[in-house]
């Protein structure tokens, strides 16, 4: 069997699903880790997980059970561990179940919808890597009625501020309701605040933004603020997306 590659000590804790990279570095600097019986305070110390013996708070390191959560994030909730301004975070919603999981990608404070969380870093890297081309679908309410020409321009791709170019997989009109247009936008790139920025590039603003789907996964049957574990078949289906 091919030996596992060496990892820095902070990444070992992260890969084993026991802490985020930031928490791992803090624990290491505090002297809570031992490698082969010796306290190590260097997060960048190289370790071979299949050869070296690592203890965390006196207990030998073992992989945590892989956890994959699908969460319906409410608007106004931020995707981070704690907040200096006291805002509500996804971890307030998850309770003890969210102890070691980390968001797979991000949703900004004013965006609601489907958010994955996991302690499987390889899974997270795969889902968020643009080369995996996993589609993320959004329902978007605009601040006005969008004509056909502008819709076509948006679907063809637009130049955003700071020089980024947004190239959606698809953009379609869901409906014109009153004085507002609702769109369905599908992306695979995952640039920061991409939907909002591409809409602004064609002269509109987003009034409401909901991520409704990631690959084959949807929010069906899930209430806002609630979560569930992914089924093995769902994880496999997501990994197979190309």
How far apart (Å, rounded) are the C-alpha atoms in residues 62 and 59? 9
Would you call 200 exposed, middle or buried from its count of C-beta atoms within 10 A (0-12, 13-18, 19+)? Answer: middle
Q: Which residues are catalytic?
A: 108
How far apart (Å, rounded) are the C-alpha atoms in residues 109 and 126? 24
How far apart (Å, rounded) are the C-alpha atoms in residues 181 and 86? 34
Which residues contact residue 21 at a Cβ distance below 8 angstroms, ignoring those fewer than 6 apart?
10, 11, 14
Using alpha carbons, list the distances in angstroms from residue 218 to 70, 158, 180.
9, 27, 25
Q: Which of 32, 196, 16, 8 is nearest to 100 (CA)?
A: 16
């Amino acid at each position: 069997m091919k030996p596992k590659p060496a990892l820095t000590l902070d990444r070992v804790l992260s890969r084993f699903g026991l802490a985020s990279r930031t928490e791992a570095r803090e624990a290491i600097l505090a002297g809570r880790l031992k490698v082969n019986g010796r306290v190590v305070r260097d997060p960048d110390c190289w370790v071979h997980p299949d050869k070296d013996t690592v203890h965390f708070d006196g207990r030998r390191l073992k992989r945590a059970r892989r956890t994959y959560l699908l969460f319906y994030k409410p608007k106004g909730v931020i995707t981070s561990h704690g907040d200096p301004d006291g805002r509500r975070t996804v971890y307030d919603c998850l309770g003890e179940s969210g102890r070691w999981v980390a968001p797979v990608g991000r949703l900004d404070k004013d965006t609601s919808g489907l958010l994955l969380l996991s302690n499987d870093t390889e899974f997270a890297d795969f889902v968020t890597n643009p080369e995996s081309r996993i589609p993320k679908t959004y329902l978007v309410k605009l601040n006005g009625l969008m004509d056909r020409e502008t819709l076509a321009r948006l679907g063809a791709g637009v130049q955003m501020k700071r020089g980024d170019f947004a190239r959606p997989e698809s953009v379609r009109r869901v409906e014109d309701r009153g004085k507002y247009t609702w769109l369905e936008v599908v992306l695979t790139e995952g640039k920061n605040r991409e939907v909002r920025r591409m809409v602004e590039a064609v002269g509109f603003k987003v009034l409401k933004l909901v991520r409704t789907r990631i690959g084959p996964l949807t929010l069906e049957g899930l209430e806002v603020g609630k979560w569930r574990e992914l089924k093995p078949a769902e994880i496999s289906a997501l990994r197979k997306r190309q």
